[in-house]
């Protein structure tokens, strides 16, 4: 079986520009199915998805509300994507645990990262964290990663190195690019990666030619998303304004070179799949998922020619976790 997540890519981004960009904008993915897979907490949100040891793993936050002091990170697993069971529930002392992100380390461990919104008063507002599991059944103790008040947004592994962008949650607002060999000890690669406006959530992917591409959310007075690219050693970045507001970005590169993202869009609020054209700096909506209200924060995994999308939404009243199966045009190129 072939699985491609946001951390595994096959071809350079330039292939998008070689005859695929125009087709990408006209070809529409097809929603094959969508099912609610978890709704046991009062509020279930902020997902990620991965394949680990031939099982599906989905992680998300459980709490009383979108922002509440009782947040915990739930990890569930499934053999078939239909029947799910709890694998773990992780908390952090005197904190709201938020924004679970999943990845598989080069030595075959399941890595769960997130952030603790510390109950005040405290020495800081936030502390990023990482947990590790050899089997997916139990996780070790939490490791504090990054400097306090840098919210590290997932780990993207490329050639044995993890990369993560931490956004500052106190003034002055900015972003930092970190890297790590083991997911526990992180060093700063770029101290001030992007600083204009209030940059925050990100998604990183790497092409086979080692080009990095970053989809970045902005809030504050300047709310348009940014698309950044860089070559090794990833210290010099070029940024382009996408001209649209997004939330909860998650991006994947398909085997034929196209970039596809799941984001929150607005007016009306929804979770959608969008084509990303790095040359034209364009984000084009191509499939609205059943969603609305409090929604977004997707996980993306391409497995056996079908894209699976985890996300959360309140369009059926209770904020719940959903899993969609999507057929991508040009499927013969994805098998």
The CATH number of whichever domain residue 255 belongs to comes to: 2.120.10.10
Percent of the chain with pLDDT over 90: 89
For position 250, what pLDDT does the model report? Answer: 98
CA nearest to 99, candidates 134, 132, 68, 128: 128
Quick count: other Cβ atoms within 10 Å of Cβ 132? 19
CA distance 149 to 74: 23
Percent of the chain with pLDDT over 70: 91
State the average pLDDT over residues 214-233: 97
Name the DSSP letter for residue 124.
Answer: -
pLDDT above 50 for 5: no
User: Which residues pair with residue 180 across a beta bridge?
Assistant: 162, 186
For position 9, what pLDDT does the model report? Answer: 31
Q: Which two tokens stand for residue 73?
A: 């990170």
pLDDT above 90 for 33: yes
State the average pLDDT over residues 4-11: 37
pLDDT above 70 for 4: no
Q: Answer yes or no: are the C-beta atoms of 85 and 136 closer than 8 Å.
A: no
Domain hosting residue 156, numbered range: 3-333
pLDDT above 50 for 48: yes
Q: In what order do the strands lie in the sheet containing 3-5?
A: 3-5, 296-303, 306-313, 320-327, 30-38
For position 16, what pLDDT does the model report? Answer: 40
pLDDT above 70 for 332: no
Token match 């977004």: residue?
296
CA distance 233 to 189: 9
CA nearest to 261, candidates 241, 240, 243, 282: 282
Q: Which of 22-36, 49-63, 110-124 has the lowest mean pLDDT?
A: 22-36
State the average pLDDT over residues 141-168: 97
For the chain, the maximum distance between any two Cα atoms, rounded to a whole number of angstroms, is 56
Q: Which of 5-9, 35-39, 71-75, 117-121 has the lowest mean pLDDT?
A: 5-9
pLDDT above 90 for 207: yes
CA distance 267 to 257: 30
pLDDT above 90 for 31: yes
For position 330, what pLDDT does the model report? Answer: 73
19 pLDDT band, cuts 50/70/90, is very low
pTM attached to this predicted model: 0.92
What average pLDDT is seen over the chain?
A: 92
93 pLDDT band, cuts 50/70/90, is very high
**Which of 239-248 are b and which e, b meaning 16 or more Cβ less than 10 Å from the residue's Cβ?**
beebebbbbb
15 pLDDT band, cuts 50/70/90, is very low
For position 28, what pLDDT does the model report? Answer: 87
User: Which residues pair with residue 304 across a beta bridge?
Assistant: none
Residues in the chain: 335
User: Which residues pair with residue 226 across a beta bridge?
Assistant: 216, 241
Q: In what order do the strands lie in the sheet containing 237-241?
A: 198-206, 212-219, 226-230, 237-241
For position 2, what pLDDT does the model report? Answer: 43
334 pLDDT band, cuts 50/70/90, is low
pLDDT above 50 for 328: yes
* Number of compact structural domains in the chain: 1
CA angle 17, 18, 20 (to 5 degrees): 75
CA distance 71 to 74: 10
CA nearest to 152, candidates 180, 131, 176, 172: 176
pLDDT above 80 for 53: yes
User: Which residues pair with residue 48 across a beta bridge?
Assistant: 59
For position 26, what pLDDT does the model report? Answer: 52
pLDDT above 90 for 13: no
């Amino acid at each position: 079986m072939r699985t491609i997540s946001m951390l595994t890519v096959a071809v350079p981004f330039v292939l998008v520009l070689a005859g695929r960009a125009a087709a990408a904008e006209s070809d529409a993915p097809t929603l094959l199915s969508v099912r609610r897979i978890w709704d046991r907490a009062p509020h279930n949100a902020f997902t990620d998805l991965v394949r680990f040891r031939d099982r599906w793993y989905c992680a998300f936050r459980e709490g009383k509300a979108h922002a509440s002091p009782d947040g915990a990170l739930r990890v569930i697993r499934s053999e078939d994507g239909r029947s799910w069971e709890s694998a773990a529930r992780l908390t952090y002392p005197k904190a709201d645990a938020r924004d679970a992100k999943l990845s598989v380390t080069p030595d075959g461990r399941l890595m769960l990262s997130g952030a603790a919104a510390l109950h005040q008063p405290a020495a800081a507002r936030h502390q990023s964290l990482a947990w590790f599991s050899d089997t997916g059944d139990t996780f070790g103790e939490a490791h504090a990663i990054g400097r306090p008040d840098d919210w590290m947004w997932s780990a993207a592994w490329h050639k044995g190195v993890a990369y993560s962008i931490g956004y500052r949650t106190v003034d002055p607002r900015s972003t930092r690019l970190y890297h790590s060999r083991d997911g526990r000890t992180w060093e700063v690669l770029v101290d001030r990666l992007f600083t204009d406006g209030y940059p925050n959530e990100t998604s990183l992917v790497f092409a086979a030619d080692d080009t990095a591409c970053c989809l970045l959310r902005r809030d504050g007075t300047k709310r348009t998303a940014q698309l950044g690219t860089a070559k090794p050693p990833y210290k010099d970045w070029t940024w382009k304004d996408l001209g649209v507001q997004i939330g909860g970005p998650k991006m994947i590169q398909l085997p034929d070179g196209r970039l596809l993202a799941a984001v929150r869009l607005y007016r009306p609020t929804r979770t959608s799949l969008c084509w990303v054209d790095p040359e034209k700096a364009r984000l084009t909506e191509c499939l609205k998922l059943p969603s609305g209200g409090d929604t977004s924060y997707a996980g993306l995994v391409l497995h056996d020619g079908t894209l699976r999308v985890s996300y959360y939404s309140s369009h059926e009243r209770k904020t719940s976790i959903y899993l969609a199966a999507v057929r991508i045009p040009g499927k013969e190129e994805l098998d």
